[in-house]
Amino acid sequence: MVTVFLKNDNIKVHVSAGKSLREIARKSGASMEFGCRVGDCSTCVAKVTTGNELLNKINDKELLALNAMGVKDENLRLMCQCSVEATEGEIEISYFF
């Protein structure tokens, strides 16, 4: 299992590989905001402070949206485009909205 810590809400959940961050946030009751849910609006941008390597690689749509925002930090990700790929480890996320 992978431990996901949603820092702003002090929520810690244990998830299996394949879970999307959007689903994790919704089911845990986290206050993380989502808009379009398809990688267009950037509302769900968040900083993966630990364990970015445990998530899926950034996809083209996410890269396009982050580049449009001028983001240079590879640990800033769109939560609607992220899912857990590893089977063990810890992920910590801080969000802005």
Q: Which helix (H) or strand (E) holds 67?
A: helix 60-68
Task: Give the whole-angstrom CA distance, residue 79 versus residue 22.
Answer: 6
Nearer to ligand FES, 56 or 89 (CB): 56
Q: What mask, x for binding ligand FES by CB under 6 A, covers residues 29 to 68?
A: -----xxxx-xxxxxx--------------------x---
Task: Give the whole-angstrom CA distance, residue 56 versus residue 54.
Answer: 7
Nearer to ligand FES, 44 or 91 (CB): 44
Q: For residue 16, what are its two tokens?
A: 């299996």
Binding site for ligand FES (CB under 6 A): 34-37, 39-44, 65, 78, 80
